[in-house]
Amino acid sequence: MSALCTRRLARLTVGLCLALTGRLLLADSPSAVVDPAGYRESITPDRLREAGYNPEEYRLQVPLGRLQFERTYVRAGEEGLLSTGLTERGVDVVRLSLNPRGSLEFSQDAARTALHGVELTSSTQRTAALSQGFGGGATTGTLSLTHLDTYSADVTQGFRSSRNDRVGLTLGLGRALGLTASLEDAEGMALLGTRTRKFDMALTPTNLAVPLVEYHETSTTVGLGTTEVTQLTLRTPTVEVGGIATVAASHAVTDSSATGTNTVDTLNLTARPTDTVSLAATRVIAESAAAGTDTVDTVNLAANPTDAVGVTASHVASERESAADTAVTTLGSSIRVRPDTTVNAGYVRSRTEGVGTNIQRAVAVAMAPADGRGLGVEASYTDISAPSAQVDPTVRVKLSYAAPSRWQVSGQYYDDNARPDPELGASVRAPVLGGELGLTYSERVYDATANSVRMTRSYGTELTRPLLWGLSGRVGYQRTDNLTDPTSGERLRIGLSGATTPLGAVDMQYETGWRETGTGELPDGSTISLSLSRRLGSTEVAVTGKRAVPSAATGSPVPGDEIHVDLRASW
């Protein structure tokens, strides 16, 4: 009886949460589309499992020559007056290939949430889409027609509907230009009638990624008020200068009946005077009635005098009428002193008008053997000077050693100004009993908010060994002691996996005990999962099961059983 009450209480909670989510999503309608897809898309197996459900789901695909049918369905809870919650969603898609260049598609996406037999929220979207290519030779194109109807209802907002019609055209004008245009008309009925009309057009050369001419026009009517926005963008082709540089510019004008006129002018310059030096510079001037004129200049320089030496520099300066001026200068260098050793250095100077100047200096050394064997080193030192505060430097050191006999040893040290004590870690991997044994040790400090400190010390071991039939087994144990308060926890992991067994691919995992995460939370409990997959000719069958048993102390993880059966066949 206790378990039944717990299940019904969980269903009631999930049903109310999903219904509330749907109402909140339906309440905000930025355009004539009354019901954004957010409510239906929130009903997915993953989201339901996060909420505590164990959903039922299936997928069906039926290919019948040029006609294809797809059905996807997910359900959680029970139907009926005595049920404490039901959530379901079904998606049906029918595609018909008219000819090699044309297709017709019909789809329906329906979802609903019910409680005690009463429907709280429902949403249905029906779509009809036609796409047809035409033309030949130098002039080809595609015409598309789309009609979309959306119906939604809930116990607090009532019934709503919306309609969206769109005509799209893609046209290739010879080998030089391409034209895309679309006309869209959307209308919705909710608390107020909303209608949105859009016209979009772009003219793009075939050898460029961005259009030379781009035009957008939008008219939105809500009740008795109408807002009109037009945007025109003109871009110049990329012009070569002297064979070593390119120049491109753009001019964008946005005119809104609500905010007035805004303009943005952009000038881009790229240059490569030699094979080893490149330069990129950009100036952006934005002018608006509300913020005035802002100018941002960006310069990036990169040089590689030799294969072993690289230098980068950048400077970003902004002048604003409505905010403080800023300037950031960055210098960086990379030098390979040996085939396996690289030294990096960096310098950053940032200045804000009225605040002051910050300077950051950093140097890092990395040594990694090409064959992965031998001594590896990663070390860095970062120093920051600020006008109003003293910031301690950050030090990071990591050493590793891999011997030809599969021995691997590594250690790391990390310290920065936000940590009262440095973090330490070490690991060893060695061949043992025909497999591999790993040992780990770490001391960590959590001080993310600079107000709380939690120090932990962890010991771990794991043995991996091949068994038989292509199976490999893993056994792991970890103990974590909290040095801030007298608590400790243990975690046991057992795994078995292989891809060439008589059963096919096998993967089994079992974990139990106390588990530590990077956020400082301490969930525990037990989970066991088993996955089997096997191919039989042109058919593949996969079965996956999982059981989660929470601990009595924390109630984590969420309890429940999951079973997934996938069948893939082709004929």
Cβ neighbours around 463 below 10 Å, total: 15
- Of 63, 58, 72, 153, nearest to 109 by C-alpha is 72
Question: Shortest CA distance to 510 belongs to which of 520, 523, 496, 524?
Answer: 496
pLDDT in tens, 191-226: 667 889 999 999 988 777 788 999 999 998 887 788
Residue showing tokens 């004539």: 32
Q: Which residue numbers in the chain have pLDDT < 50?
A: 1-36, 450, 517-522
Sign of the CA dihedral with 385 first, then 386, 388, and 389 last:
negative
Tokens representing residue 8 in the block: 């019904």
Residue 286 near residue 294, CB atoms below 8 Å = yes
Residue-wise burial string across 188-216, b where 16 or more C-beta atoms lie within 10 A, e elsewhere:
bebeeebbbbbebbbbbbeeeeebbebbe
State both tokens at 522.
């301490």
17 φ/ψ angles, rounded to the nearest 5 degrees = -65, -45
Buried b (16+ CB within 10 A) or exposed e, 82-114: ebbbbbbbbbbbebeeeeeeebbbebebbbbbb
Note whether 508 and 497 are within 8 A (CB). Answer: yes
Which one, of 394, 410, 518, 396, lies nearest residue 456 by Cα? 518
Q: Residue 161: CB partners within 8 Å, gap ≥ 6?
A: 34, 149, 150, 151, 152, 188, 189
Identify the helix (H) or strand (E) that includes residue 16. Answer: helix 2-27
DSSP sequence for 418-459: T-SS-EEEEEEEEEETTEEEEEEEEEEEE-TTSS--EEEEEE
User: Phi, psi (5° rounding) for residue 162?
Assistant: -150, 155
- C-alpha 546 chain-centroid distance: 26
Q: Give the H or E element holding residue 154.
A: strand 139-154
Q: Long-range contact list for 371-378, CB < 8 A, 24+ apart?
A: 372/402, 373/402, 373/403, 373/404, 374/401, 374/402, 375/399, 375/400, 375/401, 376/400, 376/401, 376/402, 376/410
The owner of tokens 């591999």 is 436
Tell me how far apart the alpha carbons of residues 55 and 46 are, in angstroms, rounded to a whole number.
Answer: 9
Q: Which residue has the tokens 């979802």?
A: 111
From the number of C-beta atoms within 10 Å of its C-beta (0-12, 13-18, 19+), residue 365 rates as middle
